[in-house]
Amino acid sequence: MIDGANAAIYIQLAAHALSLGTVWIQTMRNIRDIQKILKLPEELVPVSILAIGYPDEKPRLRDRIPLDKLVYRNEYK
Ligand SMILES: Cc1cc2nc3c(=O)[nH]c(=O)nc-3n(C[C@H](O)[C@H](O)[C@H](O)COP(=O)(O)O)c2cc1C
C-alpha cells in the first residue's frame, strides 16, 4: 500500500513537471469492481487510479490550513 501510494505521488509529480494535471481516484471502496473491470487477479490490489490529462482550466488556489498547524519539528506541539 505504501509503495503504491508513493509511486502514485511520484507519477503525479512527474506529470506536473510535464504540465499535465492528475486526479487521484480512490480505489479502496471499489477494489473488487476495479479488479473485475481491469481483469486483475485477486492478489493484485489497485491502490490508486490516476486520471492524467491537459487541464482545460486554471484551478484557483484554495485556502490552506497554515503550515504551522500541520507541521511539527522534533516533537508534536
Ligand atoms: C487517497 C486519495 C483519494 C482520492 N480520491 C479521489 C476520488 O475518488 N475522486 C476525486 O475526484 N478526487 C480524489 N482525490 C483527489 C482529492 O479530491 C483532491 O483533489 C486532491 O487531494 C487535491 O486536493 P488538495 O489540493 O485540497 O490537497 C483523492 C485524493 C487522495 C489523496
Per-residue pLDDT of the chain (77 residues; tens, 9 = 90+): 999 999 999 999 999 999 999 999 999 999 999 999 999 999 999 999 999 999 888 878 889 999 999 999 999 98
Closest-lying ligand 1 atom to the alpha carbon of residue 64? 26
What pLDDT sits at residue 39?
97
Largest CA distance in the chain: 47
Q: Where are the domains of the chain?
A: 2-69
| CA 72–ligand 1 middle distance (angstroms) | 24
| Strands (E) located in the chain | 21-25, 49-53
C-alpha cell at 10: 511520484
Indicate which residue's Cα is closest to atom 22 of ligand 1.
Answer: 23
What pLDDT sits at residue 41?
96
| CA 22–ligand 1 middle distance (angstroms) | 10
What pLDDT sits at residue 58?
83
What pLDDT sits at residue 61?
84
What CA–CA distance (Å, rounded) separates 52 from 21? Answer: 6
CB-based pocket (< 6 A), ligand 1: 23-26, 62
What pLDDT sits at residue 48?
95
